[in-house]
Chains A and B, each alone.
Chain A
Amino acid sequence: MTIDWAHFTPLWSTIGGLLIGLAASIFILFHGRIMGVSGILGGLIRPLKGDIGWRVIFFLGLISAPIGARFLGLMPEIEIDGSPLQLIVAGLLVGFGTNLGSGCTSGHGVCGIARLSPRSITATLTFMATGVLTVWVMYHSGIGG
């Protein structure tokens, strides 16, 4: 392992993390909900009457963020390296896996770890480990493209 100092952004990443934590805090303390994106999305895929509006509004807010950032000229460049096929396969795995595992980076990784839930800590270590292995296979093993 070598540290990639050129891309390291500790200050902005900490500020971003604090805002995410603030959002999760407001959601649980004011709305009584866990800010877990895969769970909120799951409730839209199999909708229950009277349990849809808040999910849609939350997502509209989320989608507004890059629109607002671009409007203000603050949207950073993003690079999507994956081919269309890779994105489809990855999307299927992410959707299937987070539904089966009842959570993703926000639900398990932030809210679950903040609650010191052994279940969420296990889930987070698991997806981090397979994520790291996958990137290694793709970029360093000579197997991936």
Chain B
Amino acid sequence: MNHLTRRISEYLVGLLFGAGLILGGMTNPSKVIGFLDFLGMWDPSLAFVMGGAVVISFLAFRGAKQREFSLFGRVIMLDDSKSIDLRLLLGSALFGIGWGISGFCPGPAIASLGTGEWKVFLFVIAMMIGSWVAGRIQFRTH
């Protein structure tokens, strides 16, 4: 498949993902916090976002597991690491704290740059710095 077709498709996948985030309510931090407010006034909506997304992609990943190359002829890259280690647990725990404070996770935050809200830019720049720092540090897992 030619380069331009692939590029157009990548753009459309990003657009579709963004449309899903907006319709699902994920780009509204106060709604995300409502979902995380499980011990208070709980808005279960985002469980439906995740459920809908998982049901569809479950089928796609089942198909992908049986193939070596994608429909565009690219190598299918599935992460096969299995280890549940300190990095995974500590990283995910810290991510959840940041998610709870702000109501932003990476996808909706980057999509929301398109709203032009300055607070989103602040968050995304800090997120890039955080990611850069984690990449700089060598972690021992024991």
A residues in contact (CB < 8 Å) with B: 1-4, 7-10, 12-35, 37-38, 41-42, 45-46, 53-54, 57-70, 75-82, 84, 86-102, 104-106, 108-111, 113-119, 122-124, 126-136, 138-140
CB nearest neighbor in B for A88: B126
Q: A58-B11, A109-B50 are in contact. Are A101 and B44 (CB under 8 A)?
A: no
Q: A63-B113, A64-B15, A128-B96 are in contact. Are A79 and B30 (CB under 8 A)?
A: yes
Structural contact, B57 and A114, CB atoms closer than 8 A: yes
* Total residues of chain B contacting the partner, CB 8 A: 115
Q: A18-B53, A21-B57 are in contact. Are A87 and B106 (CB under 8 A)?
A: no
CB-CB contacts below 8 Å: B84-116 with A: 84, 87-107, 109-115
Structural contact, B95 and A29, CB atoms closer than 8 A: no
In the complex, number of A-B residue pairs with CB atoms less than 8 Å apart = 494
Q: A2-B40, A101-B88, A114-B57 are in contact. Are A34 and B79 (CB under 8 A)?
A: yes
Structural contact, B40 and A136, CB atoms closer than 8 A: yes
B74: which of A3, A31, A37 is its contact (CB, 8 Å)? Answer: A31
Structural contact, A17 and B49, CB atoms closer than 8 A: yes
